[in-house]
Structure 1
Amino acid sequence: MNEVYEFLKSCGTYFLATDDNGQPRVRPFGTVNIFEGKLYIQTGKSKNVSKQIQKNARVEVCASKGPEWIRVEGELVRDDRREPKVDMLEHYPDLKKMYSADDENTEVLYFKNATATFYSFTAAPKVVKF
């Protein structure tokens, strides 16, 4: 999982796909964090992406860097505890302008039953489950 985190972090931006009543929705994200041994992302509960995840937790992430890319599929689980929100915001202090660990909007989610596949034009795919 650390390798997945490092790759996504080095990309800066990755793309998260959700399901909106049968219509795929893809948007850029930039937050990724490891907290208590789980891979987390962050968004706002008021956003459509959050509502889509709560309706169907199965998502996919895609990111690329040069000739390599990654796809991560799994379920996202909301963690309403304050501690993972604080940790995320400490790693992304610019977000503190919009989010707080104590507001009703900040949402952190971790991957469950995830499979990451690393791809390259020059090597066979590598699979990591977490």
Structure 2
Amino acid sequence: MPQEILAFITQNPVCTLATAEGEQPHVRGFLSNIIGGKLYFTSSTAKAVGRQLRANPKVELCYLSQDFTTMLRIRAEMRAVEDRAIKQQLIETREYLAHFSADDPSFMLLSPVNGEAWFWTLADNLREAAIERVPFQPAS
């Protein structure tokens, strides 16, 4: 992941994540987890977002700077990651995951892959299509 993107996400770890179910978009807030320079999210197969991602892994993420002047958008696909050590690390450091175990099949560890990212500022307001996109490659 390019350093500029990693730094922006580190400074602004909460994003909105958009999925789709049929023709209906769904947006919700998510907390980003950066481990080893890679971006991860957690969810559950019991939640609607888990069902939506299994049916259609295409997402868009939107991060906003605290001063509301810069936005980072990432358009990608969410890939399930089966890494017990990362799951365990997140369970131990994120209180809201305490009810999971790393071996729980309903615990989803996800990473955006095969996409593109771009920054937007007010100066880009009427020229979004012209903004340079950076390839967003898989976490390996």
Shift, 1:42, TM fit = 1.1
Q: Does 1:127 align with 2:129?
A: no
Tell me which protein shows more strand as a share of its residues: 1
Q: For residues 11-50 of structure 1, what are the structure 2 equivalents within 5 Å?
A: 11-35=12-36, 38-50=38-50
Relative to the length of structure 2, the TM-score reads 0.78
Q: Which shows bigger deviation, 56-65 or 99-108? A: 99-108
Query: Larger Cα Rg: Structure 1 or Structure 2?
Result: 2
The CA RMSD measured in Å over matched residues stands at 2.2
Q: Structure 2: how far apart are the matches of 1:115 and 1:34? A: 20
Structure 2 gaps of 5+ residues are 125-129
Q: Which shows bigger deviation, 101-110 or 118-127? A: 118-127
**1:82 alignment partner, one of 62, 81, 84:** 84
Residues 1:97 and 1:83: Cα distance change in structure 2 (over 3 Å): closer
- Count residues with an aligned counterpart: 128
Structure 1 gaps of 5+ residues are none
User: Percent same amino acid at aligned positions?
Assistant: 30
Letter of the structure 2 residue corresponding to residue 16 of structure 1: L
Letter of the structure 1 residue corresponding to residue 100 of structure 2: Y
